[in-house]
C-alpha cells in the first residue's frame, strides 16, 4: 500500500489518505480481507497526526470500504465497489486530455470542484 | 536430427527407472506379507525396546500390515509424482528421495518385525537381532531414486534489477507498507503449540517432570515461529522496518542514512541460508519462499534480503527517501 501526501493539494491529508486507499482497493492492489496498518502506525509512517488517519479510516468505514475493529485494526471488507473503477478510468482519461490541452493539474482541480 | 531424440528420451528413461525403483519398498512389503501369511499369527511383535532383544508390545498382524501398506503406497505414489514433476519442481528429486526413504523405512520396519515374529516360538519371545540391517535397503532405494531422477530445470530467474526511485514533489510525504504472511510458518507454529500443550497435559496427568523440558522447548520454538508470521514491512521517512505483527518484535530496522541502495531480485533461500529469519555469510534475510523480494544494501554492512510479493514499489519508495551522497 503506497500513500503519498502532497502539501499543496486542495484535498486535506485525511482526504488524500482515504482516496488513495480507496483507489488501491479498486485497483486490486489492496485485497479484500487485508488488514491495514493501525492509525497510530500509519500516522507515524506519514508523519501526520493520528487523528488525520482516524478521520480517513472513519470516512472509509462510512463508505463501506473498511471495517474498524474494537482494537486498532482496520480490515478491507469491500472490493471493487460498482462504479469506482469506471470513475478512476474516466479521471485518468480527463487528466491525460487536460495535460494534452495544456491545462495544469491545479486548474483541472478547480474546474472539477466548480462542477461538483 | 540424429542424436536429439535419444537425448530427449533420456530424462524420461531416468524418471521411469527411478519410479520403478521407488516401487520396490511397497512391492517388498506386499510380497513379504503374501509369503508370511501362512505362518504369521494374528499377533506380531512390535514396539521394540532399546536393545531390540524383546518386543515392548504386540499388535494385530494384518491391521498393522494394511496400515503400513496404505501409508507406504501413498508415499510411493507421492514419490512417483515428484519424480515425474521433476522438470517443473526444482527440488523434486530431493523431496522424492525423502518420501521414498520414509516409505522404505516403514516397509522394512514391518518386514523386520514380521520376520522376527515368524522365527520366534511365540510373538512375545521375538528378538530383532541383526534384522534392522534391512533398513539400510530403504536408504539404498532412496539414494537410487535421487541419483536416477534428473535434476529439475531451474525456472528462469529474473536477474537483480535496479529500481528507479519514485519521483517526489518538494515536501511530499510517502509511506509504503504491506503485511507478509506465510501459511507454512503458521502451520509449523500451530503444530508446535499443539506439541507444547500435549507435553503440558501429559506432564500434568502423569506427574512426569521431564515433560517440562518439552513444554519449554516447544513453547520457545512456537513463539520463535509466531514471530515470523504475519509481519509488517514498512518503508517511510524512518527507514525500512520489518515487525512481527503478533509479538510486536522488530525483526529488521534500517535507518535511511545507512541505506546505500535497494534493489529487487528473485530471492533464493539457498543463497541466504534457508527459510525464516536467517543470518549467513551473505547477510541477514527474512525468507518465506523462493520468490520476489528486496535486497537492502547498506553502507559498510552486509545486505539484508526480504521476500515480498510486490517488491518494486517498496524498492522505489526506499530509493526515493534515501539521501543521495
Q: Which residues of A touch B167 (CB under 8 A)?
A: none
Q: Which residue has the cell 509424482?
A: B81
Out of B169, B232, B313, closest to residue A2 by CB: B313
Question: How confident is the model at residue A46, as a pLDDT?
Answer: 96
Q: What is the pLDDT of residue B31?
A: 93
* A5, closest residue in chain B (CA to CA): B173
What share of chain B has pLDDT > 90, as a percent?
A: 38
Q: Report the pLDDT averaged over residues B194-217.
A: 76
Average pLDDT over residues B14-39: 91
What pLDDT sits at residue B253? 96
**pLDDT(B154) > 60:** no
Q: Residue A17: what pLDDT?
A: 95
pLDDT band at B95 (very low <50, low <70, confident <90, very high): confident
Asked whether B289 and B307 are in contact (CB, 8 A), the reply is: yes
Question: Which grid coordinates belong to B285?
Answer: 534475510
Q: Are B144 and B96 in contact (CB under 8 A)?
A: no
Across chain B, mean pLDDT equals 84
Q: Of the ranges A73-87, B136-150, B226-240, which one carries the lowest mean pLDDT score?
A: A73-87
Q: What angle do CA A28, A32, A36 make, to 5 degrees?
A: 95
Touching check for B320 and chain A: CB below 8 Å? no
For residue B3, name the pLDDT band (cuts at 50, 70, 90).
Answer: very low
* Per-residue pLDDT at B325: 53
Q: Which helix (H) or strand (E) holds A27?
A: helix A13-27
Res A105 pLDDT > 70: yes
**Of the ranges A5-9, B202-206, B211-215, which one carries the lowest mean pLDDT score?**
B202-206
Q: Kindly state the average pLDDT of the residues B92-96.
A: 79
Instruction: Give residue B319's pLDDT.
Output: 95
Q: Average of pLDDT values for A84-113? A: 82
Q: Closest Cα to residue A85, out of A46, A34, A3, A29?
A: A29
ipTM associated with this complex: 0.77
Find which of A1, A32, A76 to mutate to test the B interface (most B CBs within 10 Å of its CB).
A1
Interface of A with B (CB under 8 A): 1-8, 29, 34-35, 37, 41-42, 44-48
User: Which range, A97-101, B199-203, B292-296, has the best average confidence (pLDDT)?
Assistant: B292-296
Decide if domain A9-79 falls under CATH 1.10.10.10.
yes
Taking CB atoms and an 8 Å cutoff, what residues of chain B touch A46? Answer: 173, 175, 236
Position with higher pLDDT, A53 vs B191: A53
Residue that wins the pLDDT comparison between B213 and B141: B141
Give the model's confidence band at B157: pLDDT under 50 very low, under 70 low, under 90 confident, else very high: very low
Q: Is B177 on the interface with A (CB under 8 A)?
A: yes
10 Å Cβ neighbour count for B156? Answer: 7
Q: Measured between beta carbons, which residues in chain A are less than 8 angstroms from residue B178?
A: 1
Q: Span A96-101, mean pLDDT?
A: 87
Residue of A1, A34, A46 with shortest CB distance to B173:
A46
Q: Please give the share of chain A, as a percent, with pLDDT higher than 90.
A: 38
**pLDDT grade for A113, boundaries at 50, 70 and 90:** confident
pLDDT at position B159: 65
When pLDDT is averaged across residues B80-99 and rounded to a whole number, the result is 74
Check if B175 contacts A (Cβ < 8 Å). yes
- The pTM of this model reads 0.61
- At B51 the pLDDT is 61
What's the average model confidence in pLDDT over A29-51?
Answer: 91
In the prediction, which pLDDT does B289 show? 87
Amino acid at each position: 500500500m503506497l500513500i503519498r501526501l502532497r502539501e499543496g493539494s486542495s484535498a486535506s491529508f485525511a482526504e488524500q489518505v482515504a482516496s488513495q486507499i480507496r483507489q488501491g482497493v479498486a485497483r486490486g492492489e489492496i485485497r479484500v480481507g487485508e488488514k491495514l496498518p493501525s492509525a497510530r502506525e500509519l500516522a507515524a509512517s506519514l508523519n501526520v497526526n493520528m487523528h488525520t488517519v482516524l478521520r480517513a479510516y472513519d470516512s472509509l468505514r462510512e463508505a463501506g470500504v473498511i471495517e474498524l475493529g474494537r482494537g486498532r485494526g482496520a480490515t478491507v471488507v469491500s472490493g471493487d465497489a460498482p462504479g469506482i473503477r469506471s470513475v478512476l478510468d474516466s479521471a485518468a482519461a480527463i487528466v491525460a486530455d487536460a495535460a494534452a490541452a495544456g491545462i495544469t493539474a491545479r486548474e483541472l482541480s478547480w474546474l472539477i470542484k466548480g462542477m461538483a | 536430427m540424429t542424436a536429439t531424440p535419444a537425448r530427449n528420451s533420456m530424462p524420461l528413461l531416468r524418471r521411469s527407472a527411478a519410479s520403478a525403483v521407488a516401487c520396490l519398498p511397497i512391492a517388498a512389503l506386499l510380497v513379504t506379507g503374501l509369503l508370511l501369511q501362512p505362518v504369521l499369527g494374528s499377533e506380531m511383535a512390535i514396539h521394540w525396546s532399546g536393545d531390540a532383544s524383546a518386543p515392548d508390545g504386540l499388535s494385530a498382524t494384518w491391521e498393522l500390515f494394511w496400515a503400513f501398506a496404505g501409508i507406504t503406497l501413498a508415499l510411493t505414489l507421492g514419490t512417483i509424482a515428484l519424480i515425474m514433476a521433476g522438470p517443473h519442481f526444482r527440488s523434486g528429486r530431493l523431496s522424492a528421495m525423502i518420501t521414498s526413504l520414509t516409505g522404505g523405512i516403514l516397509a522394512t520396519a514391518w518386514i523386520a518385525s514380521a520376520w522376527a515374529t515368524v522365527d520366534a516360538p511365540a510373538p512375545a519371545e521375538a528378538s530383532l537381532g541383526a534384522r534392522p540391517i534391512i533398513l539400510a535397503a530403504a536408504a539404498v532405494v532412496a539414494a537410487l531414486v535421487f541419483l536416477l531422477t534428473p535434476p529439475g530445470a531451474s525456472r528462469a530467474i529474473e536477474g537483480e534489477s535496479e529500481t528507479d526511485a519514485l519521483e517526489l514533489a518538494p515536501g511530499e510525504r510517502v509511506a509504503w507498507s504491506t503485511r507478509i504472511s506465510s501459511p507454512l510458518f503458521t502451520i509449523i507454529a500451530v503444530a508446535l503449540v499443539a506439541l507444547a500443550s500435549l507435553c503440558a497435559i501429559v506432564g500434568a496427568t502423569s506427574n512426569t517432570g521431564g515433560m517440562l523440558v518439552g513444554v519449554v522447548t516447544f513453547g520457545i520454538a512456537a513463539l520463535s515461529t509466531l514471530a515470523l508470521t504475519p509481519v509488517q514491512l514498512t518503508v517511510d521517512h524512518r527507514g525500512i522496518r520489518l515487525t512481527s505483527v503478533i509479538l510486536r518484535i522488530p525483526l529488521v530496522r534500517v535507518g535511511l542514512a545507512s541505506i546505500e541502495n535497494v534493489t529487487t531480485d528473485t530471492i533464493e533461500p539457498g543463497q541466504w541460508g534457508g527459510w525464516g529469519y536467517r543470518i549467513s555469510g551473505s547477510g541477514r534475510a527474512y525468507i518465506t519462499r523462493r520468490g520476489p523480494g528486496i535486497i537492502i544494501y547498506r553502507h559498510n554492512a552486509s545486505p539484508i534480503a526480504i521476500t515480498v510479493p510486490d517488491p518494486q514499489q517498496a524498492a522505489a519508495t526506499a530509493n526515493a527517501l534515501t539521501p543521495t551522497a
